[in-house]
Chains A and B, each alone.
Chain A
Amino acid sequence: MNLFNIISELEKVDPEIMDRLTHRRSALTALGDMTKKMALAAAPIAIGSAFNKAMGQNNSNATVNDILNYALLLERLEYSFYNQALNAATLSTTLTGDARTAITTIRAHELAHVNLLTAALGSNVSPATAPTFDFGANAFTTYAGFLTLAQAFEDTGVRAYKGQATSIPRTLNPTVGGNQVNLLTVALQIHSVEARHAAHIRYMRRGATAGAQTSIMPWIVNKDANGVPDAVYGAGVPTTTFPAEDNVAQGGITALTTMLGATYSAADVSAAFDEGLDSTTVTNIARSVVKF
Chain B
Amino acid sequence: MSNITKSGGDDAEFAKPLYTPIKRRSFFMYAGATAGATALLLSGCDDDDDNNGTQPGAVSLGSGDVGVLNYAYALEQLEAAFYARVVASPFSGMTTDERTALTAIAQHEAIHRDFFKAAITAAAPTQIIGSLTPKFDNINFSDRTSVLSTARTFEDLGVSAYNGAGSLIQNSTYLLIAGKIVSVEARHAAYIRDLITPGSFSGSDVVDANGLDVRRSVSEVLTLAQPFITETINGDNVGK
Contact = CB atoms under 8 A, between A and B. Distances in A.
A72 to B, nearest CB: 13
Contact of B107 (A101, A109, A166, A265): A265
Contact of B187 (A57, A162, A190, A199): A199
Majority secondary structure, B binding face: helix
B19 interface: no
B198 A98 contact: yes
A239 B176 CA distance: 14
A105 B180 CA distance: 25
Of A57, A192, A214, the most chain B CB neighbours within 10 A belong to A192
A273 interface: yes
Given A165-B176, A188-B182, A200 B17 contact: no
Contact of B211 (A109, A169, A219): A109
A81 to B, nearest CB: 15
B211 A188 contact: no
Of A158, A197, A251, the most chain B CB neighbours within 10 A belong to A251
B38 interface: no
Contacts of B172: 166
B209 A112 contact: yes
B42 to A, nearest CB: 14
B190 A274 contact: no
Interface residues of B, number: 62
A188 B179 contact: yes
A203 B190 CA distance: 10
Contacts of B118: 253, 259-261
B112 A192 contact: no
A109 B174 contact: no
A243 B215 CA distance: 27
Contacts of A186: 212
B186 interface: yes
B175 A166 contact: yes
Nearest to A215: B100
A115 B17 CA distance: 37
Contact of A219 (B114, B170, B187, B209): B187
B191 interface: yes
Interface stretch (B43-51, B126-134, B160-168): B160-168
Given A188-B166, A189-B213, A251 B174 contact: yes
